Amino acid sequence: MQSFSHDVVVISDVHLGTYGSAARELVVYLKSIHPEILVLNGDIIDIWQFNKKYFPKAHLKVIREIIRMMSHGTKVYYILGNHDEALRRFTKFSMGNLVMDNKLVLDLPSGKAWFFHGDVFDYSVKHSKWIAKLGGKGYDLLILLNTFINKVLISLGKERVSISKKVKDKVKGVISYVNDFEQNVAAIAREKGYRYVVCGHIHQPAMKEMGLEHERQVVYLNSGDWVENLTSLEYVNGSWSLYRFDQKLNAETKEEEMNSVDIDLTTVLEGIEK
């Protein structure tokens, strides 16, 4: 497969270890790029939902592919989110081409970019974590149901549907939450003097300039997720773009094995949770 060079690539909300993670598609994407910097902007491994009995080969391949990229010179910044917050004891950890932290600032040719996951703006995560975790389990079950429905639709020659995305797009409370999230993030970035603010967390891919006419414009960027939207952000030659994985062109990835495998990662995560 042809490999494309990028200055910066941002992915978030992969949720490895859950049924909804589009790990197979992500492996295909990672093999097609060769960025100088890869920003993993939170919720890459879903420790909240982690189950020792479920970690398919495709999920392990994502980790292997990231390690391969590091060995070929890519600098990887792992920005920690709420679902992988157990790793926050390793904040400021650095080894070779890997850095783990809660935030990142890059001085890009077109302006400073501020990266963080975004859960700090989520009231349910900060003050009612049990509600957030319960919602996460419900979301995972909905994705599992959606996966079964899509398998049936594909077998009938019809297009995939995203039930949870349709629900979220029509619920006024969710729309209001997303708008508030974007406005708050952009306002703080403006106060700090950043040109770009780059988040994940809300699973809503976006690229937009934000600010009133008399205010300095801030570019709000959200990398979306690899559960429903299968999106990333790419920075090449001084400009950002939003990448969307073409599931039709890569339908063959659906046929890979889904069997779980015994890996050292389970032992690592058990140690982290203790």
Task: Give the up-direction half-sphere exposure of residue 233: CA atoms within 13 A in the CB hemisphere.
Answer: 33
Which architecture characterizes domain 4-273 according to CATH? 4-Layer Sandwich (3.60)
Inter-helix orientation angle 163-170/129-155, to 10°? 130
Nearest C-alpha neighbor of 11 from the set 258, 251, 242:
242
Q: How far is CA 189 from CA 1, 126, 158, in A?
A: 38, 20, 43
**Please, which pLDDT band fits residue 271 given cuts at 50, 70 and 90?**
very low
182/220 Cα distance (integer angstroms): 7
Report the pLDDT value the prediction gives residue 6, as an integer from 0 to 100. 75
- Cα–Cα distance measured from residue 46 to residue 143, given in angstroms and rounded to the nearest whole number: 14
Quick check: pTM over 0.75? yes
Confidence of residue 234 (pLDDT cuts 50, 70, 90): very high
Dmax over Cα atoms in the chain, in whole Å? 57
Give 12-25 pLDDT, tens digit per residue. Answer: 999 999 888 999 99
pLDDT at residue 190 is higher than 90: yes
pLDDT for the residue 115:
97
> Domain spans of the chain?
4-273
More confident: 169 or 231: 231
Mean pLDDT for the stretch of residues 119-126: 58
Element (H, E) at 140: helix 129-155
- For residue 224, the tally of other CB atoms under 10 A from its CB is 24
Whether residue 89 has pLDDT greater than 90? no
More confident residue, 151 or 105: 105
pLDDT of residue 262 exceeding 50: no
Q: Mean pLDDT over residues 27-47, rounded?
A: 95
pLDDT score, position 156: 78
- Asked if 80 and 87 count as a contact pair (C-beta separation under 8 A), the reply is yes
